[in-house]
A and B are shown apart, each in its own frame.
Chain A
Amino acid sequence: QKEVEQNSGPLSVPEGAIASLNCTYSDRVSQSFFWYRQYSGKSPELIMSIYSNGDKEDGRFTAQLNKASQYVSLLIRDSQPSDSATYLCAVNRGGTNAGKSTFGDGTTLTVKP
């Protein structure tokens, strides 16, 4: 079982639609969860961080965390062509851990005009 697993892509949505990205993780003591966006050949860019169960909204983005189900998701509302990228889910144990983040393989999103 992968430590961090993301829904296999590629995912294609029309402009203006909602894109839903999912991630599950295996380490129950994980405390910090991050969604990064990565354009081809570029470095990961933080979209959202979430630490507590529930929803966290920032503009068109909503992250959802369910620690009991070991599940974290990202919703992108009113998707734009500029949202086309690979989205990376990252998980961090926090606490006494040295801060290592474990990344999923990424889900490639294409938003079609």
Chain B
Amino acid sequence: EPEVTQTPSHQVTQMGQEVILRCVPISNHLYFYWYRQILGQKVEFLVSFYNNEISEKSEIFDDQFSVERPDGSNFTLKIRSTKLEDSAMYFCAGSGTNSDTQYFGPGTRLTVL
């Protein structure tokens, strides 16, 4: 059964550094998402991506964040200048339609020191 994969599983970085989180969605999915979950809190929507552009973004997804699907398979989330409060689990997800089930990757744990 196809799965969403994410790398790295754990990223430790210094405050102010740039990080890129990578995801390989399921190949026949068309909609892609990033969510985050701060420890002990709920899963929060960051951004959705369809047809090579952002469809919707949350208030969390400010100018420090960007997404890209550079080669038709990888889907990346970049944080330009990390802050302590960016420490969280970041989940990539994908779906076939915008109302269909979203399948989540295993997540990247980002720790900002």
Contacts and interface: CB of A to CB of B under 8 A. Distances in A.
Interface of A: 31-32, 34, 36, 42-46, 49, 51, 88, 90, 92-95, 97-106
B44 A43 contact: no
Interface residues of B, number: 27
Contacts of B89: 43
Contacts of A102: 45
Nearest to A93: B99
B43 A88 contact: yes
Nearest to A30: B99
B75 interface: no
Interface of B: 31, 33, 35, 41-45, 48, 50, 55-56, 58, 89, 91, 95, 97-107
B105 A43 contact: yes
Contact of A98 (B56, B106, B107): B56
B103 A46 contact: yes
19 contacts: A32-B101, A42-B107, A43-B105, A46-B101, A92-B99, A92-B102, A93-B99, A95-B99, A97-B56, A97-B99, A98-B50, A98-B98, A99-B95, A99-B102, A100-B45, A100-B56, A101-B45, A103-B43, A106-B42
